[in-house]
Amino acid sequence: MAITGEEEECYAIGIDLGTTYSCVAVWRNNNAEIIPNDQGNRTTPSYVAFTDNERLVGDAAVNQAIRNPTTSIFDAKRLIGRRFSDASVQHDVKLLPFKVIEGAENKPKILIKHNGKTKQFAPEEISSMILAKMRETAEAYLGSHVKNAVITVPAYFNNSQRQATKNAGLIAGLKVMRIINEPTAAAIAYGLDKKAKRNVMIYDLGGGTLDVSLLTLGDGIFDVKATAGDTHLGGEDFDNKMVSYCVEQFKRKHKLDVSGNSRALMRLRSSCEKAKRRLSFTSSIDIEIDCLDQGIDFSTNLTRAKFEQLNMNFFKKCMDPVHKCLSDAGMGVDSVDDVVLAGGSSRIPKVQELLQDVFNGKELCKGINPDEAIAYGAAVQAAVLNGCGKQNGNRLQDAVLNGCGRIPNGNRLQDFTLLDVTPLSLGIQVCEYDHDDDHYFAECTHDRMSVLIPRNTRIPIKMNRNFTTVYDHQRSVLFPVYEGESKKTSNNNFLGEFELCHIPPAPKCVPKLDVCFDIDANGILNVSAEDKSTGNKKGITINTKTRTSGSYEGKSETESELESVTENEGESEKTSYKNSMGEFVLNNISPAPKHVSKFDVYVEDKSTKGITINTETRTMRY
């Protein structure tokens, strides 16, 4: 039977874009269905491989990875939205078999040879290929075109990583309805049918990231109280420890060092990952690899005890976000009703043992499939936002953008409400002056973080703060924006900056500058400043200013991607995406008195010390 255009538009999918595996689900027939790929598997490896004349994604990419390690790309999620100079990126590039170089504006680029040419890909381009594969998988299963999607990210992903993930979805031809946090999605999978109010901790340990979220849920309301995590801690780290151990074993036995042999390392990685999985169910396992190097075989017996010894520091580190999350929520361990496991690495017995110790022996909840729960929850959120579930011809009615839907009686999504939080504090770099009445003095530190939105603030949220000038006739103000928990911006993550120009000449403290921080439901930040006397306004959507290579079959060209953005997303969506492709331009700097900086600004708060925006003139780092 032919499918009408209206019916095609009904489907919205949920995608768990994982570090090592990805999963896609759809809500239909009053339930979330995990969609198997073309191999019949319910999860798909987050791998992309380039051969001489074709590109492979998923299982096909993994199957040839040992033969072509330098052109088989994985762990893109560990690079997305980061700077090449980040310590975590520098750590990873030493372990990855493919080449990662520094691209424009300190962005990591993946270097590969394809079709006889050397090409560079941004991590979000690689992620977009995985997302496109998940979309194709859903379309083949549903027999319908699919455009709308909810994509999950680690709760502790920063603003740049979230925006880069959204850009990846756009490149893949998806309308990204929402970016939601992975543990929140897992909580939806766990608590959709629960009526009684319960405090639930989601412990989500995946292939590359760890998230811990504490929610109060019941009767369709999912209220996130606090979240914590580590975006560079997961199963891949455990694998790397095992690989290093095996390299040392081979070196000790045979006096051969395979640490520079990418093919040997890929074979070891594959065997170690399989051994890690088996050690969750058995006490020891043999690792055997024929002809690892120079015709010499490798074999060793690895016990669970040895595996735990190798990774004990990591396992203990996995408990730190649990304590932080409890502290931020102001909740004791006895107040937590359920501890729910998500993510494949949560199956590791030692991790479960340490987690139980934190909660005084409480039984852990293992009732949801840790590999599929996040995609399940994302599919639920997608159905609510889409307003259409295609069950018995009924539409999911009254879905609204803040995550709340009123659904017809008998539908499991009735009165579904999602209340999430921002994981990191957001603010502006400022300078601090002691003052008494009419005098402002003391040294300017140029490294202080003035927080406008504290971490674990419920989103969406809009916060305003009034500023004014410090100097007479000041014409311009620069606003550098950061996220993080340190009082020093040098220890936090720089997001971007913008300049408010053409302030009418006036004595200091007279201009009224209203600064607004606005976080949408995706966790993406918009910042603006308005001169109240003139209405002059300037702002920025904080994003990664992605510059894609244009080598992904034409799909990374800005204009072609903008055509895929549907009309109801509006000009703001198009503008945001154009910004992300590097088209944001600062205004020219206005003249200022020679003896002062042109960018100083004072916070209008008589009860506190004077605060000025960082006065250092610098070029855009994005």
Known active-site residue 204? yes
β-pair type (537-541, 525-531): antiparallel
Render 499-531 in DSSP notation, one character per residue: EE--PPP--TT-S-EEEEEEE-TTS-EEEEEEE
Which distant-in-sequence residues (6+ apart) come within 8 Å of 100 by Cβ? 79, 84, 89, 92, 93, 108, 109, 110, 111
Note if 77 is an active site residue: yes
Shortest CA distance to 611 belongs to which of 479, 433, 472? 433
Query: Number of C-alpha atoms within 13 angstroms, CB side, residue 601?
Result: 30
Nearest to 568 by CA among 9, 184, 20: 9
Q: Which value, in Å, is the radius of gyration of the alpha carbons in the chain?
A: 26
Specify whether 16 is catalytic: yes
Question: Angle 444-446-447 (CA atoms, 0-180°, nearest 5)?
Answer: 125
Q: How far is CA 36 from CA 31, 525, 602, in A?
A: 16, 35, 57
Strands 461-468 and 513-519: antiparallel
The Cα-based distances of 486 to 82, 226, 268, 489 in angstroms read 19, 18, 39, 7
Check if the beta carbon of residue 17 is closer than 8 Å to that of residue 132: no
User: Helix 320-329 crosses helix 349-358 at what angle (to 10 degrees)?
Assistant: 30
Q: Which of 75, 124, 136, 204 is catalytic?
A: 204
Question: 125, 136, 182, 518: which one is catalytic?
Answer: 182
Element (H, E) at 536: none
CA angle 241, 351, 224 (to 5 degrees): 115
CA distance 398 to 409: 13
Distance CA(96)–CA(91), nearest Å, equals 9
Tokens matching residue 341: 């496991």
Helix spans in 28-181 (H): 59-63, 87-93, 123-142, 159-171
Point out the catalytic residue in the list 77, 133, 390, 545: 77
Is 420 tagged catalytic? no
| Of 16, 92, 518, 573, catalytic | 16
Active site residues: 16, 77, 182, 204
